[in-house]
């Protein structure tokens, strides 16, 4: 990578917030992935805009990373700049009427906890989704009958030219694990929600109940990216995988979870190539067994 760009990025975000050859295994919940040429952590919207502008001018690709809970990064790593939107852009404010403004780097758990403490309900479903609200807006994250689009009123984004755009919920075109912002390559800066009043203890009870369900069903003690595949219409990916005899299927250090066949887990020493091989073999086995083509939900970075 061009040393001049690295110097420019250091000038924008400070030397401590630019790392070269940064292992992506440190920044993904799968705990796999080779080095990114450059890993930058902007401290706010202005720095983020300047970082992206510098990448654009230099012709370097920018990968926007939230919490890394839905990406699989190749062992060869990433050629370009990873821009992390995380704890430095994570303010959450809640108005008296339950209107929430959350910066994109705020973890879903933080937003849900803040809402609960203020006596506002509606975001409980996301409390256990281990990503940022920016990632949730891009993915239309959902669980246990709730989805981000149910409570979101709008998002503030940067478009490809670095302009701030306000997108109303009606224009976000949220679908199953997708959004207009994701398709257009927009960067989410903040997400607006409208929640409704409820007893904090009742909200907490619902969050505890969902957390119990997750713990019972999901292999939360092992690195993964959650459900590896999208749910095919009218089916459950985990059931199809189990029926195809792939529960426990292992390549190197990657395995179809024995607890929940919808998850591929890292047994400890998986490579990204192992994980990808499991994904491909599961797709082939399920197709042969049921004629259904599973599509990865997890985003694949650096494999092209
Ligand atoms: C144990 C476990 C359980 C899970 N359970 C669920 C679940 O119940 N429901 C569910 O929907 N998901 C689930 N997931 C998947 C994941 O947590 C969600 O997809 C989450 O919304 C991803 O957020 P993130 O911040 O980690 O995004 P990342 O993984 O960092 O990024 C995902 C995608 O969003 C983009 N992106 C991230 N932030 C921004 C931004 N600010 N602007 C523009 N693009 C951005 C990235 O470029 C990438 O394309 C689970 C994952 C794990 C590990």
The CATH number linked to 279 is: 3.90.78.10
- At 160, is the pLDDT very low, low, confident or very high (cuts 50, 70, 90)? confident
The C-alpha atoms of residue 205 and residue 199 are separated, in whole angstroms, by 10
Q: Which of 31, 48, 128, 135 to mutate to test the pocket of ligand 1 (most atoms within 8 A of CB)?
A: 135
Q: How many domains does the chain have?
A: 3
The mean predicted confidence, pLDDT, of the chain is 97
Residues near 133 by beta carbon (within 8 Å), at least 6 away in sequence: 102, 103, 104, 106, 107, 108, 111, 126, 148, 191
Which sign, positive or negative, has the C-alpha torsion 101, 159, 62, 9? negative
Is the residue at 212 inside a domain?
no
* One domain for residues 176 and 192: yes
User: Could you give the percent of the chain with pLDDT greater than 70?
Assistant: 100
* One domain for residues 161 and 183: yes
What residues act catalytically? 177, 227, 297
* One domain for residues 227 and 190: no
* One domain for residues 83 and 98: no
Whether the pLDDT of residue 1 is over 90: the answer is no
How many other C-beta atoms are found inside a 10 Å radius of the C-beta of residue 178?
14
pLDDT of residue 236: 94
Domain boundary among 50, 72, 87: 87
- At 292, is the pLDDT very low, low, confident or very high (cuts 50, 70, 90)? very high
pLDDT in tens, 232-279: 999 999 999 999 999 999 999 999 999 999 999 999 999 999 999 999
- At 168, is the pLDDT very low, low, confident or very high (cuts 50, 70, 90)? very high
Nearest CA to ligand 1 atom 51: 226
How distant, in Å, are the alpha carbons of 29, 53, 196, 254, 273 from that of 268? 12, 38, 42, 8, 14
Which residue range(s) make up the domain with 139?
Answer: 90-207
Residue position matching structure tokens 């004629």: 291
Nearest CA to ligand 1 atom 1: 226
Predicted structure pTM score: 0.96
* One domain for residues 133 and 119: yes
Whether the pLDDT of residue 90 is over 80: the answer is yes
Nearest CA to ligand 1 atom 2: 226
* One domain for residues 100 and 196: yes
Whether the pLDDT of residue 88 is over 80: the answer is yes
pLDDT in tens, 111-148: 999 999 999 999 999 999 999 999 999 999 999 999 99
| Closest ligand 1 atom, residue 218 Cα | 1
The C-alpha atoms of residue 123 and residue 153 are separated, in whole angstroms, by 13
* One domain for residues 138 and 43: no
Whether the pLDDT of residue 304 is over 80: the answer is no
Domain boundary among 175, 207, 239: 207
* One domain for residues 173 and 113: yes
Taking a C-beta distance cutoff of 8 angstroms, is the pair 81, 301 a contact?
A: no
Is the residue at 216 inside a domain?
no
């Amino acid at each position: 990578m061009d040393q001049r760009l690295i110097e420019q990025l250091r000038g924008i975000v400070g030397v401590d917030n630019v790392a070269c050859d940064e292992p992506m295994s440190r920044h993904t919940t799968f705990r796999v992935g080779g080095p990114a040429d450059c890993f930058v952590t902007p401290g706010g919207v202005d720095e983020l805009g300047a970082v992206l502008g510098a990448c654009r001018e230099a012709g370097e690709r920018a990968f926007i990373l939230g919490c890394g809970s839905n990406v699989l990064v190749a062992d060869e790593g990433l050629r370009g700049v990873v821009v992390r939107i995380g704890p430095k852009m994570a303010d959450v404010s809640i108005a008296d009427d339950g209107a929430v403004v959350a910066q994109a780097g705020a973890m879903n758990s933080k937003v849900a906890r803040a809402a609960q403490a203020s006596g506002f309900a509606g975001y409980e479903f996301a409390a256990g989704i281990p990503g940022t609200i920016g990632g949730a807006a891009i993915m239309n994250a959902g669980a246990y009958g709730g989805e981000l689009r149910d409570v979101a009123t709008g998002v503030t984004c940067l478009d490809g030219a670095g302009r701030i755009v306000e997108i109303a919920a009606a224009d976000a075109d949220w679908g199953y694990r997708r959004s207009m912002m994701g398709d257009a390559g927009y960067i989410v800066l903040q997400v607006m929600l409208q929640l409704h009043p409820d007893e904090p203890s009742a909200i907490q009870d619902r969050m505890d109940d969902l957390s119990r369900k997750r713990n019972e069903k999901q292999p939360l003690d092992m690195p993964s990216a959650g459900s590896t595949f999208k749910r095919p219409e009218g089916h459950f990916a985990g059931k199809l995988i189990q029926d195809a005899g792939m529960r426990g299927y292992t390549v190197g250090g990657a395995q179809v979870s024995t607890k929940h066949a919808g998850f591929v887990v890292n047994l400890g020493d998986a490579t990204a190539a192992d994980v990808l091989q499991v994904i491909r073999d599961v797709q082939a086995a399920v197709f042969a067994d049921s004629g259904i083509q599973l599509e990865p939900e997890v985003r694949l970075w650096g494999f092209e």
